[in-house]
Chain A
Amino acid sequence: QSALTQEASVSGTVGQKVTLSCTGNSNNVGSFVVVWYKQTSHGAPKTVMFGDSLPSGIPDRFSGSKSGTVASLTISGLQPEDEADYYCSTWDNSLSARVFGGGTELTVL
């Protein structure tokens, strides 16, 4: 059981907007920046969002936000190459540990 809750799977068509969520509590998501990762075919993860800031090289169709204890990663104008597993992570002050979500499998139809 992961400390952060993500949808198991999400799908969308090319060009569509999709939003992935990462739900925690006041000790983690509610207090710290959430980082998002993309992983294809179990290669190394790639960081796609720090809070609401894009790392260099990540397309600006990716955006991040947070409301209370729920963080979101939105992909506007979905592309075939966006198909991957997406994970979120943040720090948990009560556990003194980094926590991850279980991951969302994004399928581009």
Chain B
Amino acid sequence: EEQVVETGGALIQPGGSLRLSCAASGFTVSSKYMSWVRQAPGKGLEWVSIIYISGERYYGDSVKGRFSISRDTSKNTIYLQMNALRAEDTAVYYCARDVGRSGSHYWGQGTLVTVSS
């Protein structure tokens, strides 16, 4: 069974940094497109970032230059490094195994990031 599990969410002060992890099982992260999607309290889904099988990476405008997606094939895990965090980054962050660029198939349960002083 294909599964992803996110960890690393926390309460963090504005301007701080945090790294989220997404451990995969049932498939290898290097053979699939993988994404991060977030959902602010009471809001809809917002795409954050994607890493292609080739290693190409793309980001949403609201996080470009501050967030970075990566993968560790030895750990079968992808990461989201988040720097210069702002209050508006407060959200549940979901990791997902994608079906190409258009969307996701398997989702994790999400991890909560709260940016507040």
Contact residues of B: prevailing secondary structure: strand
Pick from B59, B94, B102, B109: contact of A35, CB below 8 A.
Answer: B102
Among B8-16, B17-25, B45-53, B82-90, the one that faces the other chain is: B45-53
- As a 0/1 sequence over residues 35 to 53 of chain B, the CB contacts with chain A under 8 angstroms (1 = contact) are 1010100001111001000
Contact surface of A with B, Cβ cutoff 8 Å: 2, 32-35, 37, 39, 42, 44-47, 50, 55, 85, 87, 89-91, 95-103
Q: Determine if A98 and B35 form an interchain contact, defined as CB atoms under 8 angstroms apart.
A: yes
Contact surface of B with A, Cβ cutoff 8 Å: 35, 37, 39, 44-47, 50, 58-61, 92, 94, 99-110
Q: Determine if B107 and A45 form an interchain contact, defined as CB atoms under 8 angstroms apart.
A: yes
Contacts of A99 in B (CB 8 A): 47
Pick from A42, A44, A96, A101: contact of B108, CB below 8 A.
Answer: A44
Contacts of A32 in B (CB 8 A): 101-102
Q: Determine if B104 and A47 form an interchain contact, defined as CB atoms under 8 angstroms apart.
A: yes
Contacts of B108 in A (CB 8 A): 44
Q: Determine if A100 and B45 form an interchain contact, defined as CB atoms under 8 angstroms apart.
A: yes
Shortest Cβ distance from B105 into A: residue: A47
5 of the cross-chain contacts (CB-CB < 8 Å) are A34-B102, A44-B108, A87-B45, A97-B60, A98-B101
Q: Determine if B39 and A42 form an interchain contact, defined as CB atoms under 8 angstroms apart.
A: yes
Task: Tell me, in angstroms, the Cα distance from A34 to B100 when the chains sit together.
Answer: 11
Shortest Cβ distance from B103 into A: residue: A35
Contacts of B94 in A (CB 8 A): 44-45
Question: In the assembled complex, how far is the CB of residue A28 from the closest CB belonging to chain B, in whole angstroms?
Answer: 9
Contacts of A35 in B (CB 8 A): 99, 102-104
Task: Tell me, in angstroms, the Cα distance from A12 to B70 when the chains sit together.
Answer: 43
Task: Tell me, in angstroms, the Cα distance from A32 to B37 when the chains sit together.
Answer: 19
Contacts of A98 in B (CB 8 A): 35, 47, 50, 60, 101-103
